[in-house]
Structure 1
Amino acid sequence: MSSSSLSRTPLPARAAAIAAAALLGGAVLTACGSEDGSGEGATATGPTVVASTSVYADIAEQVAGDNATVEAVISDPAADPHSYEASPADAAAVSGADLVVYNGAGYDSFVDRALENAADVPVVRAVDEYERVTGESIAEHSHGDEHGSDDHGADEHGHDDDHGAEGGHGAEDGHDGHGSDDDHAGHDHASDTNEHVWFSLPTAAAVAERVAEELAAIDEENAEEYRENADRFADSLAPLEAELDAIHDRGHFPYAQTERVGAHLFDAAHMVDLTPRGFLASIEDDTDPSAADLSAMLDLMGEREVAFLAFNTQTETTVTARVRDAAESADVAVVDLTETLPEGMDYTTWMTGIVNSLSSALDGATPVADGGH
């Protein structure tokens, strides 16, 4: 369901639904009104935007400025959106919003369920913007499904998810992503099921642009300001994209990851993922990796075959903690990642810190001569 195909319900009807959400327990949602998270920039009037996570709430708030109220369903920096169970208040707020901004592809499926009972709420779906700006596809899945499968059907809003692989190399040729004897031929970047598209900077800019257009249609009086704010947000990401290009110019650096959270960002710098594919699939499916996959992962750390380990702190397990310990023992740099905004940060500040961490981790590292292909 693309936002362009949706009709718009008049604001008074939306206001009634928002009031119902408040009666059900409006404290569940957190206002996102300023860069420091204080909410001082939001107003009590104008359109109401509901975002699935604090990441999309921040992007929307930077576009909305003082002209709209932006709320995040998930704002806890320690929460795991994959396993989030929406409350009736969450569902009512989503269905009563003037605009909903979310990830899609099964990542925040509670939004899709809430929209089933909504009357044509306009939406901005980040995976749609990812596909538009990259020309690549993200397959629909639920956390815990078998990753790498191509038999996902259309999602609940009619999106055709019969997509091919994003990376196109390594996933279909029988390689497991580690231990190949042909110059890392089995290693790929990200798979078609890497739904963490907010780590793609062009996608974040495209989401902001789409939010601006949707708000401009709802609130024509402030249309130009919305568009200017979206342009300003995109401009703030340009130095980061330049820094990723500079990393690419230095070579194709190998890395490993406990989960494919930041892979879109790493792909932009043309880094090479050496993580055993079986290890990734097990972690993302909430199962223990095989002894062989775990051993291969630990060997990557112990033998310092990677420049850094990307570590998802929000889904830490005893297995991933063991991998982190091995990295630290071998003096392999660890780049910490989260799936929601750290407290007190906006999107650009957050991404800037991650990109700076990447640059520091690569100091003295040796690139893969052929890029891993």
Structure 2
Amino acid sequence: MNRRAFLLTSAATAVATTLAACSSGGGTSSDAGGASDAGGGSGKTALVASTNVWGSIATSVGGDHVEVTSLISSPDADPHEYEASTRNQLALSKAAVVVENGGGYDDFMERMLSSAKNTSATVINAVDVSGFTAAAGAELNEHVWYDFPTVKKVAEQIAAALGKADAAHAQDFTANATALNAKIDELIAQEATLKGADAGKGVAITEPVPLYMLEAIGLVNKTPEAFSEAIEEGNDVPADVLAETTALFSDKAVALLAYNEQTTGPQTEAVLKAAKDNGIPVVGVTETLPEGEDYVGWMTANLTAIGDALS
């Protein structure tokens, strides 16, 4: 079990125990972190997303007819170290639709749903929707929100699930998903433009967070797998692997460094310093939405930053 899965599972187990204790007197809380019962309370359909990335997609599709709760929403939070709360557990208990990432990224969602005894919610798993599977002997890159075709599919499934929960507004959900996917098509076109100019250039990463986007542009990841795997798992990077990674910059083997700003430490900072010392552009990436951004605006900024770094 990797560091992410261990921490999230432990947190979910702890909150499940707390919820059971709080519920033993037969009472329930009306505070569900902004969520409401489908067809009741605020009159909006309740949807819970594991992160504000999928929450933003759901908000675009649901519009004014849906109340969205994102369990991980702080831009300063490390999603690997999510700590569940009874407030979020209660939100899940009321959800008509749940959007999780899957692929081991947010396994706490399944445990929290089980503890909440919510068996009626439609659960959309983005990794399952993507159709991606791990290559033999390798781990799946679960950061599928950086893959635009996957996001389009998830948006369509959210529209279908919301239409099932609220048939009166089904056409609105479908229209909203269509409009969102048209904007995502523009992002795909932006990737294609960058690919035409920059395909084949080498890049370095600290974690595989943006790899789907980088590969769609035709960029080649030169980072030793042992480096990015150790960082993602929360393990120390062997000295020889760190030296091999920093040499990418002194050897000018890469055109940019994609740096995960939400998982940092002495070894990632050493790589960051090597890039800066050797004049290699650095593009910061995150796993959750920056404050005040929506999904399309965020990804547009990411692509623009990559294009500027490569030019």
Question: How high is the TM-score relative to the length of structure 2?
Answer: 0.85
Partner of 1:321: 269
**Is the 1:95–1:119 contact (alpha carbons within 8 Å) kept by the matching residues of 2?**
no
Provide the rounded CA distance (Å) in 1 between the counterparts of 2:119 and 2:45: 16
Kindly indicate whether residue 85 of structure 2 is the aligned counterpart of residue 137 of structure 1: no
**Aligned with 2:49: secondary structure?**
strand
Which residue does 1:124 correspond to in 2? 124
Partner secondary structure for residue 340 of structure 1: coil
Say which of 149, 165, 173 aligns to 1:202: 149
Is the alpha carbon distance of 1:300 and 1:85 closer, same or farther for their aligned partners in structure 2, counting shifts above 3 Å?
Answer: same
Q: Residue 361 of structure 1: CA displacement?
A: 1.2
Please say if 1:253 is aligned against 2:197: no
Cα deviation 1:322-342 (Å, max 9, x = unaligned): 111111111101110011000
Give the drift of 1:88: 2.1
- 3-state SS of paired residue (1:86): coil
Letter in 1 for 2:73: S
Equivalent residue, structure 2, for 1:74: 72
- How do 1:137-286 and structure 2 match up within 5 A? 137-138=133-134, 164-165=135-136, 192-250=139-197, 251-286=199-234
- 3-state SS, counterpart of residue 289 of structure 2: coil
TM-score scaled to structure 1, two decimals? 0.71
Residues 303 and 229 of structure 1: CA distance in aligned 2, closer, same or farther (over 3 Å): same
SS at match of 1:66: helix
**Where does structure 1 lack aligned partners over 5 or more consecutive residues?**
1-18, 32-42, 139-163, 166-171, 173-190, 364-373
Deviation, structure 1 residue 288: 1.2
Residue number among 226, 237, 256 corresponding to 1:289 in the alignment = 237
AA of the residue aligned to 2:44: G
1:361 corresponds to: 309
1:96 aligns with 2:94: yes
Where do 4+ consecutive residues of structure 1 move more than 4 Å?
A: none
Q: Is the 8 A contact 2:96 2:120 kept in 1?
A: no
SS state of the match for residue 255, structure 1?
Answer: strand
| Structure 2 SS opposite 1:315 | coil
User: How far 1:193 sits from its partner (Å)?
Assistant: 2.1
2:52, 2:73 within 8 Å by CA — same for their partners in 1?
yes
Where 1:101 maps in the other structure, the secondary structure is strand
State the alpha-carbon separation in 2 of the partners of residues 294 and 204 from structure 1. 34
1:21 to partner: Cα distance: 5.0
Question: For the Cα contact (< 8 Å) 1:92–1:114, is it kept in 2?
Answer: no
Q: Which moved more, 1:81-90 or 1:106-115?
A: 81-90
Separation in structure 1 between the aligned mates of residue 194 and residue 48 of structure 2, nearest angstrom: 36
Superimposed CA distance per residue, residues 281-303 of structure 1 (whole angstroms, 9 cap, x where no aligned partner): 21111111111110011101122
Q: 1:94 deviation in Å?
A: 1.2
- Deviation of the 1:20 alpha carbon: 3.6
Q: Please list, as runs of the form range in 1=range in 2, the aligned pairs for 1:36-47 lying within 5 A after superposition.
A: 44-47=42-45
Q: Which moved more, 1:114-123 or 1:215-224?
A: 114-123
Taking the aligned partners of 2:243 and 2:92, their CA distance within structure 1 comes to: 44
Q: CA deviation at 1:220?
A: 0.7
Give the share of equivalent positions with the same residue, in percent. Answer: 36
Go from structure 1 to structure 2 and tell me whether the alpha carbon gap of 1:20 and 1:235 turns closer, same or farther (over 3 Å shift). Answer: farther
**Does the CA contact (< 8 Å) of 2:249 and 2:275 recur in 1?**
yes
**2:45 touches 2:166 (CA, 8 Å); kept in 1?**
yes
| CA 1:30–1:95: 2 relative to 1, 3 Å | closer
Q: Is the 8 A contact 1:100 1:121 kept in 2?
A: yes
For the residue of structure 2 that corresponds to 1:309, the secondary structure is strand
State the alpha-carbon separation in 1 of the partners of residues 229 and 195 from structure 2. Answer: 27
Count of matched residue pairs: 277
Q: CA deviation at 1:30?
A: 6.1
Over 3 Å counting, the alpha-carbon distance change for 1:21 and 1:295 in structure 2 is farther
Quick check: 1:130–1:203 contact (8 Å CA) kept in 2? yes
Q: Which one-letter code corresponds to 1:61 in the other structure?
A: T
1 CA distance for matches of 2:57 and 2:28?
26
- Partner letter of residue 173 of structure 2? Y
The Cα of 1:123 is off from its aligned counterpart by 1.0
Aligned equivalents of 1:106, 1:85: Cα separation in 2: 16
Counterpart CA distance in 1 for 2:28 and 2:101 is: 25
Residue 120 to residue 295, structure 1, CA distance change in 2 (3 Å): same
- Between Structure 1 and Structure 2, the one with more helix by share is 2
Q: Does the aligned pair in 2 maintain the 1:45–1:69 contact within 8 Å?
A: no
Equivalent residue, structure 2, for 1:65:
63
